[in-house]
């Protein structure tokens, strides 16, 4: 059970496909101008990711290795078409807002990458859990970016005015340059909070002053002296 939860939540932050793995950058920047568009794109991509991972994992021993990428694209394209048709029928305004980027889910590197790196090598259940985690991570990254850009760039949230912020908006956040700025800040924040720096090892090897250092020992290590407070 712990493995399942770990596999599910890894895509939210520590292996977030957008903020850590830096995948799906184009739809993230283009669809993060408003929260509604961001959620629509995130959920659409998540649905395609879950369905494609399920089918590709199910057929992983049947698909010939030489044509696996074209087969993956065909499977993904089929589910993107289904999502497009459903959205066009039931959510026409969102369908129009997403525009070309909805069709471009077919070549979204997050979906194709998980198919190649995970679904083609693991069982159906694990592949679906991985897809849910990565899809939610993609949606979360879109939501965070869109919230900052819409609230502080236009003074609205999902189209509803936020009077407190309305007087202090920074319109450039709605522009492409503002999107890159918010994107960079979020990446830096995630790296700062969740990435551990490797332990530093003290050694005389490579030190330009090693020949003149009184701490140098035969084993070329200062660790013993460092621990003694010299």
Q: What tens-digit pLDDT sequence spans the chain (230 residues)?
A: 777 888 888 888 889 999 999 999 999 999 999 999 999 999 999 999 999 999 999 999 999 999 999 999 999 999 999 999 999 999 999 999 999 999 999 989 999 999 999 999 999 999 999 999 999 999 999 999 999 999 999 999 998 998 888 888 999 999 999 999 999 999 999 988 877 555 555 556 556 555 556 555 544 444 444 444 44
How many angstroms from the chain centroid is the CA of residue 188? 13
* Nearest CA among 204, 226, 199 for reference residue 216: 204
Q: Give the residue among 141, 121, 104 at the shortest CA–CA distance from 15.
A: 141
pLDDT at 224: 45
Give the whole-angstrom CA distance, residue 78 versus residue 56: 12
CA distance 138 to 50: 13
pLDDT of residue 212: 57
- Who's near 217: CB < 8 A, 6+ residues apart? 204, 224, 225
The model carries a pTM of: 0.82
At 167 the pLDDT is 81
Query: What is residue 162's predicted lDDT score, i.e. its pLDDT?
Result: 87
Q: Measured between alpha carbons, how far is 220 from 62 in angstroms, rounded to an integer?
A: 56
pLDDT of residue 219: 47
Q: State the Cα–Cα distance between residues 95 and 86, nearest whole angstrom.
A: 9
């Amino acid at each position: 059970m712990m493995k399942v939860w770990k596999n599910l939540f890894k895509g939210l932050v520590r292996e977030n496909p957008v903020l850590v793995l830096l995948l799906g950058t184009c739809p993230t920047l283009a669809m993060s101008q408003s929260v509604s568009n961001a959620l629509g794109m995130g959920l659409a991509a998540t649905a395609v990711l879950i369905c494609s991972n399920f089918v590709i994992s199910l057929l992983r021993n049947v698909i010939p290795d030489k044509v696996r990428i074209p087969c993956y694209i065909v499977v993904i394209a089929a589910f993107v078409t289904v999502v497009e048709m459903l959205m066009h029928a039931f959510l026409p305004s969102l369908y129009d807002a997403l525009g070309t980027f909805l069709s471009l889910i077919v070549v979204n590197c997050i979906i194709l990458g998980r198919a190649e790196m995970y679904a083609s090598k693991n069982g159906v259940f694990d592949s679906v859990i991985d897809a849910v985690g990565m899809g939610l991570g993609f949606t979360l990254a879109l939501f965070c970016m869109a919230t900052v850009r819409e609230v502080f760039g236009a003074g609205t949230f999902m189209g509803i005015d936020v009077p407190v912020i309305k007087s202090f908006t920074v319109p450039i956040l709605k522009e492409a340059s503002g999107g890159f700025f918010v994107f960079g800040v979020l990446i830096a924040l995630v790296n700062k909070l969740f990435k551990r720096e490797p332990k530093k090892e003290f050694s005389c090897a490579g030190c330009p002053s090693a020949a003149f250092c009184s701490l140098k020992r035969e084993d070329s290590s200062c660790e013993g002296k460092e621990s003694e407070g010299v």
